[in-house]
Amino acid sequence: MIRVDEEFLGSLDGPFDAAACMSCGVCTALCPMEIGSLPRELFRHAILGLAERIRQQEDTIFSCLLCRSCEASCPAEVPITENVRILRRHLVKHQLGLGE
């Protein structure tokens, strides 16, 4: 069963901004890491509040090169790398226990 955490987006440390994403897939197609869920699917999980899915994708989130190749091509100008950093901050604090 998929559990939706309605508070998830609000609990993130920073302005997670993927609302403009229209799921065109250019980011995923160009990503040098070639991980299918990076970054589009990952952001969809965050927007939907699927906190558990985000936690399960720890490796994917930390695999991002932050190279901005996706961002340079995004037609919706989504701040992709900043969003990834925000998800990392969430995992660092709540999953890895390195927040303090």
- Alpha-carbon torsion angle 3, 35, 83, 53, nearest 10: 10
Interface with other proteins (CB under 8 A), residue from 9, 12, 13, 44: 13
Select the span of 2-10, 21-29, 44-52, 91-99 touching other proteins (CB under 8 A): 91-99
Contacts with other proteins, 37-76, as mask; x by CB under 8 A: ---------------------xx--xxxxxxxx-xx----
SS3 call for 11: helix
Question: What's the sign of the alpha-carbon dihedral 59, 45, 26, 75?
Answer: negative
* CA–CA separation, 68 and 52 (whole Å): 26
Q: How far is the CB of 90 from other proteins (least distance, A)?
A: 8
Which positions lie near other proteins, rule CB under 8 A? 13, 32-33, 58-59, 62-69, 71-72, 85-92, 96-100
